[in-house]
Structure 1
Amino acid sequence: MKGLALKLISAVIVLILLFALAPFGTVPAGHRGVKTTFGSPSNEVLSEGIHFRFPLAQKINLVNVSIQKGEGEGDAASRDLQIVHTRVALNYHVKPEGAVSVFRDLGNEPGERMIIPSVQEAVKAVTARFTAEELIAKRTDVRDQIVAQLRERLARHAIVVDEFSIVNFNFSKSFNEAIEAKTTAEQLKLKAERDLLRIEVEARQRVAQARAEAESLAIQRQQVTPELIRLREMENQRLAIEKWDGKLPNVSGGAVPFINVK
């Protein structure tokens, strides 16, 4: 009995040591593992799942390879020396096969050591190619050029750019006021041009109407002949006879008018 008890105690101690020393490590979904032996990383990338390690001597370090989002903002100068405050958003992920490189070269901190400085540099470099007004009007071109620079720079460190967007451009108060004044002036100019066009069209319409009326009167005058005048007089006399009731007008007072009968 005493020997059996010792065996049970020994087994329990071994189990406790196994759990305490943890000879197995787990790599969860969305990550890759980098095994280090006394701090030295191996070149093998551990996939998701359970992996063996030597307790105390080896450690499994996790590298996030899922899509991550980062936002940042900073100031830059445009080509016409306007100060531009830019806010951007970036989605990126670490290449699974590049997990060892990210762990070894970037200290497993790609966001702080590579993403942020790369975005700042790309934004400043591209912003300097455009004037402040062009940054607004050609926003898509600006974004595409920034993305191209980022992808080229980050690809060397096993980082992939998934999405990039310019959240907002902000300029100085004086520049915003100048843009607003220019926009107002352009709107007033367009309104004046539309009013002038409307006036010209209405004037042409009045001229055309007057010309048509004049031509109509001229045609009517050409159609008036002595025969037409005589016909109209006969029609008027006929209408007067039809309306006459057969009674002569009564005259009261005064002298009887003299009628010269030949």
Structure 2
Amino acid sequence: MNYGKYIISGVILVLVIVLFIFSSTKVESGHRGVLLQLGAVKPTILTEGFHFKIPFIQNVEQIEVRVQKEESSQSAASKDLQMVTTKVAVNYSVDPGAVNKLFQEIGLDYRTRIVEPAIAESLKAITAQYTAEELISKRPEVSAKVKEMLDKKLTKYYMLLEDINIKEFAFSEEFNKAIELKQTAEQNALKAQRDLDRIKIEAEQQVTQAQAEAESLKLKKEEVTPELIQLKQIEVQEKALEKWDGRLPSVTGGATPFIDLSGVK
């Protein structure tokens, strides 16, 4: 009798363990659980941790709600019909409060069915609004517009856009050469303009200097008066007297005839 009780207790324990195994489920960290009952999606969303379900009636599909990264490279025509290949990195996540709707309407392959086409469509639509040069010079503006369009597309399908980063714009070899030639021409034009400005400044400096010298000569000329001339003559005579040794010249000239004074004692 006791042996039979042990067997029955063991069977019951095994049944309890099996029932616990089949009736419990664990939702992993960074995920949400979609509860299915006979294949139908229930409105209940299971959070992280252990949960109980009806064995063989209910099962749980787990969907990651952490930030995911999608890198894409798309080729499209710019506004001026230049072929542009854009490399972009997109960070997005599934809305934790709508994983059941996502699973019901889209399924687990939402990355292929929704995310990748939405990125490609957004990039091509925004790229077509700018010329090739504007894509480079207005990169932050382009990135903001792509983000705005992509956010609307992902939100429609229960996903959240976290961030977008345009990593590179790649153009054709012919366009790159044209850009290089244009930059070289602009640099040469800038150098020529600087040289022209320098020459102009130097010429203006020379004109200013000549004007200053002319003004100086004019002032000096205005300062020469008859009194000043007479004063200068007196100064010359005084210097001549200082150097005179007291001897009269032997020959004189002027209004009177020359007289030889060498014989006068």
Q: Same fold (TM over 0.5)?
A: yes
Deviation per CA, 1:180-231: give whole Å up to 9, x if none. Answer: 1111111111111121111111101101110110110111011112322333
Taking the TM superposition and a 5 Å limit, the aligned residue runs for 1:151-166 are 151-166=151-166
Quote the residue 1:224 is aligned against.
224
Q: Which runs of 5+ in 1 are unaligned?
A: 250-256
- Contact 1:102/1:109 (CA < 8 Å) preserved in 2? no
How far apart in 2 are the matches of 1:235 and 1:59? 128
Quote the residue 1:112 is aligned against.
112
Letter in 2 for 1:17: V
Letter in 2 for 1:148: E
Deviation per CA, 1:120-161: give whole Å up to 9, x if none. Answer: 011111111211111112222222221221122211111111
Taking the TM superposition and a 5 Å limit, the aligned residue runs for 1:13-162 are 13-14=14-15, 16-18=17-19, 21-162=21-162
Quote the residue 1:193 is aligned against.
193
Quote the residue 1:258 is aligned against.
250
Deviation at 1:69, TM superposition (A): 1.5
How far apart in 2 are the matches of 1:109 and 1:241? 122
TM (normalized to structure 1)?
A: 0.86
Q: Does 1:5 align with 2:6?
A: yes
DSSP-derived class of the 2:85 partner: strand
Deviation at 1:259, TM superposition (A): 5.4
Percent identity of equivalent pairs: 40
Tell me which moved more, 185-194 or 115-124: 185-194
How far apart in 2 are the matches of 1:26 and 1:240? 127
Letter in 1 for 2:57: A
How far apart in 2 are the matches of 1:45 and 1:68? 20
Q: Tell me which stretches of 4 or more aligned residues in structure 1 moved more than 4 Å.
A: 233-242, 246-249, 259-262
Quote the residue 2:258 is aligned against.
none
Letter in 2 for 1:67: V
- Contact 1:91/1:164 (CA < 8 Å) preserved in 2? yes
Letter in 2 for 1:2: Y
DSSP-derived class of the 1:22 partner: helix
Deviation at 1:74, TM superposition (A): 1.5
How far apart in 2 are the matches of 1:57 and 1:214? 111
Quote the residue 1:181 is aligned against.
181
Quote the residue 2:255 is aligned against.
none
Letter in 1 for 2:87: R
How far apart in 2 are the matches of 1:4 and 1:162? 61
Quote the residue 2:257 is aligned against.
none
Quote the residue 1:252 is aligned against.
none
Deviation at 1:172, TM superposition (A): 0.3
Quote the residue 2:206 is aligned against.
206
Q: Which runs of 5+ in 2 are unaligned?
A: 253-260
- Contact 1:30/1:64 (CA < 8 Å) preserved in 2? yes
Quote the residue 2:256 is aligned against.
none
Tell me which moved more, 198-207 or 228-237: 228-237
How far apart in 2 are the matches of 1:171 and 1:180? 12
